[in-house]
Amino acid sequence: MALKVEICLKKPLKKREMLLLSRSKSIYSRDIIIRNILGKPIPAGEHRDESKDIQILLEACEALSKCYLMCKDHNLSSPVYIHQSGTAMRLMTALLSCSEGSFILRGDPQVQKRPIAPLVDALKTLGADITYMDKEGHLPLLIRGCNLASHGTIDARGWESSQYVSALLLIAPKVKGGLRLLRSRQDGSTPYIDLTIEQMKRYGASVVWQGDLITVSDTPYRLPPQITDERDWSSAGYWYQLLALHPDLSELYLPGLFFTDSLQGDKTVAKLFEAFGIYTAESSGGVTLSKRIPTDPDQGEVPTIDLSHYPDLFPTLAVSYAMLGRSVHLVGLRSLAIKESNRLDTVLSGLRAMGFTDGLRYDSDTFSYDGTPRNPSSTPIIIDSHDDHRIAMSFAIAGATMPIGLTVEGAESVRKSYPAFWDELSKVATLRPHPIPSLP
């Protein structure tokens, strides 16, 4: 059922609050793929409280496991449905290509609009048997699993989605002769590839990234003595945003989140929000965020922030700078066009709905705000999330700091990455949910 939620400032409020985060989707999704390659899949039913993306990936892998038992005849194709999950689309395309059986990989209309050709083309150079069943370059795919083998070097430089690279790397230990892949560290979302490599190493893989060349041997994975369990830094960004914007809150505690030893690239949000006077203290159980006067406040220069490696932080930062009336220049945004929505467009639409009608400049790769104050609206503010979880959450946080507040449509989209978001936000904001019945 669709959902819209009204959000506004909550009074009175404790100065300190503890907020719970979801498990890191980036780390856990890689665990799921590697565990399936090892033949030790994680049961889907044991993790009903996980994000929608993780649930979809677990269920897709469960369908794969059933195919091992039931679909020995390659004339039968097992359906694998990945709903709206771009993560599952990319990771499962690679995993199915080297798995025993024949599969039809499909998803909702929204995800079938997202490109998959660079990954499919790369897999075909390894010998994968993949056929487009409808539109070239998009799902649905007919995938006949087979043994893959290395036939030279794959050039992944300039690929917009780092998940194409991660998908190839994760299956590389199953590829005869391993994998040689070209990828520049200047290409976008490098921290996510670093995370993939480190996670593979934890499972015994041999991976080296030197210069532009990533080399993976065909040394098999093995189970590590301990599985990593980290909370999600991308989701933590919304609570940094809340503390920066909120007139009353002074401290937040996020258990299960770690900075020093974290593999997650989005932990850079901790450094970025120091510009707003939000500081991070790490303890054995998590991190504490506190608000104070910045030690190095703006000296009148407009900051330029390159988000090419951290694109998921764009909505959080854009809304924060606008709400605080602080000028900013954000660059490295090209990959936003292939997210759950075109995030540059949806953030701009949301800011305009809030009254930021002047002072915004943008193109396909950049976003600038010159500090022009918003024009208060005489009508209720309604934000269309376009079913994009990161749009819904970043604007909901803004509403939680406003006396009049706003309404987020498509509020159910947060299940994709942070199912408990509304429960946690209700600790620090007034919420009025409105279920919207489906049309007959």
Are 6 and 120 part of one and the same domain? no
Look at residue 97 and tell me if it is in a domain.
Answer: yes
Are 44 and 10 part of one and the same domain? no
Are 50 and 10 part of one and the same domain? no
Whether the CB-CB separation of 236 and 269 falls below 8 Å is answered with yes
Look at residue 101 and tell me if it is in a domain.
Answer: yes
Look at residue 324 and tell me if it is in a domain.
Answer: yes
Look at residue 222 and tell me if it is in a domain.
Answer: no
**Residue 297 pLDDT > 60, yes or no?**
no
Q: Residues 381-400: what's their mean pLDDT?
A: 97
Burial class (CB in 10 A: 0-12, 13-18, 19+), 44: buried
Are 318 and 414 part of one and the same domain? yes
Look at residue 428 and tell me if it is in a domain.
Answer: yes
Look at residue 358 and tell me if it is in a domain.
Answer: yes
Instruction: Kindly state the tokens that stand for 232.
Output: 């999600």
Are 13 and 71 part of one and the same domain? no
3-class SS at 281? strand
Q: What is the CATH number of the domain that holds 125?
A: 3.65.10.10
Instruction: Kindly state the tokens that stand for 210.
Output: 């030197």
As a whole number of angstroms, the distance between CA 287 and CA 280 comes to 6
Look at residue 217 and tell me if it is in a domain.
Answer: no
Which residues 6+ apart lie within 8 Å of 193 measured at CB?
A: 162, 165, 166, 169, 183, 209, 214
For the chain, what is the domain count? 2
Are 18 and 85 part of one and the same domain? no
As a whole number of angstroms, the distance between CA 428 and CA 393 comes to 14
Are 13 and 51 part of one and the same domain? no
Give residue 399's domain range: 2-23+230-436
| Secondary structure letter of residue 277 according to DSSP | T
Are 76 and 100 part of one and the same domain? yes
Amino acid in position 85: S
Quick one: pLDDT at residue 73?
Answer: 52
Question: pTM of the prediction?
Answer: 0.90
Ranked by mean pLDDT, the top range of 64-68, 73-77, 210-214, 284-288 is 210-214
How far does the chain reach from its first CA to its final CA, in angstroms?
Answer: 12
Are 382 and 338 part of one and the same domain? yes
List the one residue out of 164, 165, 229, 173 whose CA is nearest residue 200.
Answer: 173
Residues 321-330 pLDDT 10s: 999 999 999 9
Residue 316: enclosing H or E segment and its boundaries? helix 314-323
β-pair type (213-216, 179-182):
antiparallel
Look at residue 255 and tell me if it is in a domain.
Answer: yes
Quick one: pLDDT at residue 65?
Answer: 76
Q: Where are the beta strands (DSSP E) in 123-272?
A: 129-132, 141-144, 154-155, 179-182, 207-210, 213-216, 251-255
As a whole number of angstroms, the distance between CA 24 and CA 238 comes to 14
Percent of the chain with pLDDT over 90: 80
Are 74 and 6 part of one and the same domain? no
Last residue of a domain, one of 172, 207, 241: 172
Are 31 and 12 part of one and the same domain? no
Looking at every residue in the chain, the average pLDDT score rounds to 92
Whether residue 312 lies in the annotated active site: yes
β-pair type (213-216, 382-384):
unpaired
Q: 214 forms bridges with which residues in the sheet? A: 181, 209
As a whole number of angstroms, the distance between CA 25 and CA 116 comes to 21
Q: Give me Rg for the CA atoms of the chain.
A: 22
Q: What is the band of 2 on the pLDDT scale with cuts at 50, 70, 90?
A: confident
Residues 180-236 pLDDT 10s: 999 999 998 999 999 999 999 999 999 999 999 999 999 999 999 877 789 999 999
Q: Residues 117-139: what's their mean pLDDT?
A: 97
Are 331 and 376 part of one and the same domain? yes
As a whole number of angstroms, the distance between CA 311 and CA 297 comes to 24
Q: Which of 31, 53, 187, 312 is catalytic?
A: 312
